[in-house]
């Protein structure tokens, strides 16, 4: 398939950035450079996305641990020791709790998975995608695509601490509740998982903005403006060929996670604005899911006015 498939090319051509995308695409490789390996070992959080092997729904989830729980163990392999994560100690398991929507995917060898390691302290982020292999202490990913993203739209959070916190019981629903919709509308960050044509690969990307950049337009629909980025259009390109998507919202103070699965489509306005519309199929709300507490955000100077 190469760096780009037909969906990404279609969006690049529509926006007129194919040449720039070709230039940016040279940064995508299969191997893990030493600087990336060093970055991974400092992170307490890894976000991942995959499709459920049973019903095909796409979800984004998160695993956490003391720095070093994610390591590069080869030139094209990362190892994730979920058994060391205090997120999951209450279940006594080496992997995510059985209630996590991605639990089955993370136990299935060969599952295509996308990951993103984002450090709010430095606004750096790295994406590593590949095939998953369960291990006795968690899972490993044989990388097929590795690349860094710019710090645009990442909110800076100066400090992070591990806290003694047990996850609450997940609450599942067919659509977000009124309280959950308020949580979505106040968010400054979320993560978006999408799949490549035929389910051959998964991308997890970051989306950020000032609170209010996510608009809840109905009990089952939310929308956000697609800000200018690296011009690769990996995520929007995936949505051209497959609308399945998963969203992950975090409460950076309490560790709450709100996971949404459904379908997303991009609408292009005559003035060039791109807006993504997401329809919820299911929501999973887990209080205290992550044992991390981050400091208050310093909003990115690149964030557009959410009312614009």
Q: How many domains does the chain have?
A: 1
- For every residue of 208-222, DSSP letters joined together read E-STT-EEEEETTEE
| 305 inside domain | no
CB count within 10 Å of CB 106 equals 21
Digit-coded pLDDT (tens) for 54-83: 999 999 999 999 999 999 999 999 999 986
Tokens of 267: 């609408």
Q: From CA 142, how far away is CA 210, in angstroms rounded?
A: 35
300 in a domain, yes or no?
Answer: no
**Cα(250)–Cα(237) distance, integer angstroms:** 25
Instruction: Note the pLDDT tens digit of each residue in 180-218.
Output: 999 999 999 999 999 999 888 999 999 999 999 999 999
pTM score, two decimals? 0.94
Structure tokens at 270: 């005559």
* 223 lies in some domain: yes
* Domain that includes residue 133, residue range: 6-294
Positive or negative, the CA dihedral 86, 90, 91, 92 is positive
pLDDT tens per residue, range 135-183: 999 999 999 999 998 899 999 999 999 999 989 999 999 999 999 999 9
CA 172 to CA 61: how far, in whole Å? 15
Residue 190 lies in a domain: yes
> Which pLDDT score, from 0 to 100, does residue 94 have?
33
User: What are the backbone dihedrals phi and psi of residue 253, each rounded to the nearest 5 degrees, phi first?
Assistant: -105, -45
User: In this structure, is residue 197 part of a structural domain?
Assistant: yes
For residue 266, what is the domain's CATH number?
2.30.110.10
Report the alpha-carbon distance of residue 71 to residue 236 in Å, rounded: 29
Asked if residue 151 is part of any domain, the answer here is yes
162 in a structural domain: yes
pLDDT tens for 237-282 read 999 999 999 999 999 999 999 999 999 999 999 988 999 999 999 9
| Alpha-carbon dihedral angle through residues 285, 133, 87, 53, given to the nearest 10 degrees | 20
Is position 299 within any domain?
no
Question: What's the pLDDT at 97?
Answer: 63
The predicted-structure confidence for 233-245, as pLDDT tens digits, reads as follows 999 999 999 999 9
């Amino acid at each position: 398939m190469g760096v780009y498939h037909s969906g990404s090319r279609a969006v690049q051509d529509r926006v007129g950035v194919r040449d720039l995308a070709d230039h940016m695409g040279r940064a995508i490789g299969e191997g893990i450079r030493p600087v990336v390996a060093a970055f991974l070992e400092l992170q307490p959080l890894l976000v991942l996305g995959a499709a459920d092997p049973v019903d095909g729904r796409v979800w984004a989830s998160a695993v956490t641990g003391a720095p070093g729980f994610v390591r590069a163990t080869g030139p094209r392999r990362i190892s994730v020791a979920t058994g060391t994560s205090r997120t999951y100690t209450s279940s006594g398991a080496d992997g995510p709790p059985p209630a996590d929507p991605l639990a089955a995917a993370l136990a299935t060898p060969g599952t295509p998975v996308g990951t993103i390691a984002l450090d709010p302290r430095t606004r750096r982020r790295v994406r590593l995608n590949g095939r998953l292999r369960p291990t006795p202490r968690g899972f490993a990913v044989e990388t097929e695509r590795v690349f860094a993203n710019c710090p645009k739209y990442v909110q800076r959070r100066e400090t992070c601490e591990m806290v003694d916190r047990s996850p609450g019981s997940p609450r599942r629903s067919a659509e977000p509740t009124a309280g959950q919709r308020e949580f979505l509308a106040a968010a400054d960050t979320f993560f978006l998982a999408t799949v490549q044509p035929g389910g051959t690969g998964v991308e997890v990307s970051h989306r950020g903005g000032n609170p209010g950049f996510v608009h809840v337009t109905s009990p089952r629909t939310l929308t956000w403006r697609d800000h200018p980025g690296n011009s690769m259009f990996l995520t929007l390109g995936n949505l051209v060929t497959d609308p399945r998507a998963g969203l992950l919202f975090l409460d950076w103070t309490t560790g709450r996670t709100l996971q949404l699965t459904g379908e997303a489509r991009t609408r292009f306005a005559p003035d060039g604005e791109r807006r993504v519309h997401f329809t919820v199929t299911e929501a999973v709300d887990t209080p205290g899911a992550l044992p991390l507490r981050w400091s208050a955000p310093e909003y990115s100077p690149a964030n557009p006015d959410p009312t614009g």
